[in-house]
Amino acid sequence: MLTINVVTIFPQFFDAPLALSIPSRAAAAGAVRYNLVDLRAFTHDRHRSVDDYPFGGGPGMVMAPGPFFEAVESVGATAPIVLLSPRGRRFAHADAVRFAAGTELTLLCGHYKDVDQRVADHLATEELSLGDFVLSGGEPAALAIIDATVRLLPGAMSDLESARTDSFFDRGISAPSYTRPAEYRGHAVPDVLMSGDHAKVAAWREAQSLARTREAEARDRAAWSVREAEIAAREAIIAEREERARAKAAKKARRRPAGG
């Protein structure tokens, strides 16, 4: 059985989603156990505070390390201990496969402006992100990872072969799917899928999968090119500011009286 610990200030966020569909079915089959850990239970002030002002100033509040460390220690969690963070590596299907093959997974949900870096450096064993965007908290990301993981567990899906033909399961993007009616509002299903020739159908699906995977990779490359250009532009601005600061400091030093 896989035990999934979720450390969060909003355990109620998970109540309804985990009681529905495949996450619920996986639990009913005895393949997974969900352990929702309320981070506020590990605070030590009357306000049950989990955050504080950042050292060095600045906007927003930072989640303190203490409650996270104590919460993880309370369940005796072992790796993988995942901090959901926009700084993290992007979550992939291979991670879901890895988690599903284990016996324990702990997900740490941040909130507010940030989480104290010591949680990432000395408690979490890895950081994962869903993509290049920021959520209000780690809870939606944790739920996505749970869903992607538990659907691979025995008993979670009535048809495991369906999961094996999904996108990213030992392949790239999957081929498009169609169902009845054969024609809808003038839009017809591809003839090959109606042919009854299983070899031709398989070849069509393979070709579609490869084409769509290449298209996705091309989009990713184009997006990265744009992002690299933006990074280069920002670095140029930073370099210019640093040069101005150095020039200003040197000018000030020259004006300083000798022995002053």
pLDDT for 162 = 52
207 and 99 in a single domain? The answer is no
Beginning with the edge strand found earlier in the chain, give each strand of the sheet holding 51-52 in spatial order: 51-52, 62-63, 114-115
- For residue 16, the number of C-alpha atoms closer than 13 Å in the C-beta half-sphere is 2
28 and 142 in a single domain? The answer is yes
Average pLDDT of the residues in 3-15: 98
Of the residues 123, 150, 177, which one is the last residue of a structural domain? 150
75-79 CB contacts, 8 Å cutoff, 24+ apart: 75/5, 75/35, 75/37, 75/106, 77/5, 77/104, 77/106, 78/104, 79/125
Q: Which two tokens stand for residue 255?
A: 């004006």
Percent of the chain past pLDDT 70, that is, above it, reads 93
Q: Is 86 exposed, middle or buried (0-12, 13-18, 19+ CB in 10 A)?
A: middle
Give tens-digit pLDDT for 224-260. Answer: 899 899 999 999 999 999 999 999 999 888 887 766 5
Whether 163 contacts 146, CB under 8 Å: no
Of the residues 101, 131, 150, which one is the last residue of a structural domain? 150
- Give 223's pLDDT tier (boundaries 50, 70, 90): confident
CA dist 55 and 220 (Å) reads 37
100 and 220 in a single domain? The answer is no
The C-alpha R_g of the chain, in whole angstroms, comes to 25
Please enumerate in sequence order all residues whose Cβ is within 8 A of that of 194, keeping only pairs 6 or more positions apart, or say none: 182
Give tens-digit pLDDT for 193-220. Answer: 999 999 999 999 999 999 999 998 998 8
Whether 76 contacts 25, CB under 8 Å: no
What's the domain range around 29? 2-150
Average pLDDT of the residues in 175-199: 96
Residue 107, pLDDT above cutoff 90: yes
Mean pLDDT across the chain? 92
pLDDT for 172 = 83
35 and 141 in a single domain? The answer is yes
Residue 171, pLDDT above cutoff 80: no
130 and 249 in a single domain? The answer is no
Residue 167, pLDDT above cutoff 90: no
Residue 161, pLDDT above cutoff 80: no
In this structure, of 27-41, 46-60, 163-177, 224-238, the range with the lowest mean pLDDT score is 163-177
pLDDT for 165 = 52
When divided into structural domains, the chain yields a total of 2
- Give 164's pLDDT tier (boundaries 50, 70, 90): low
Give tens-digit pLDDT for 47-101. Answer: 999 999 999 999 999 999 999 999 999 999 999 999 999 999 999 999 999 999 9
The answer to whether position 182 is within a domain reads no
Residue 160, pLDDT above cutoff 80: no
Nearest to 92 by CA among 66, 126, 129: 129
Residue 16's alpha-carbon distances to 13, 36, 37, 158, 214, in angstroms, are 7, 13, 16, 21, 38
Q: What is the pairing mode between strands 183-184 and 187-188?
A: antiparallel
Average pLDDT of the residues in 139-160: 90
89 and 215 in a single domain? The answer is no
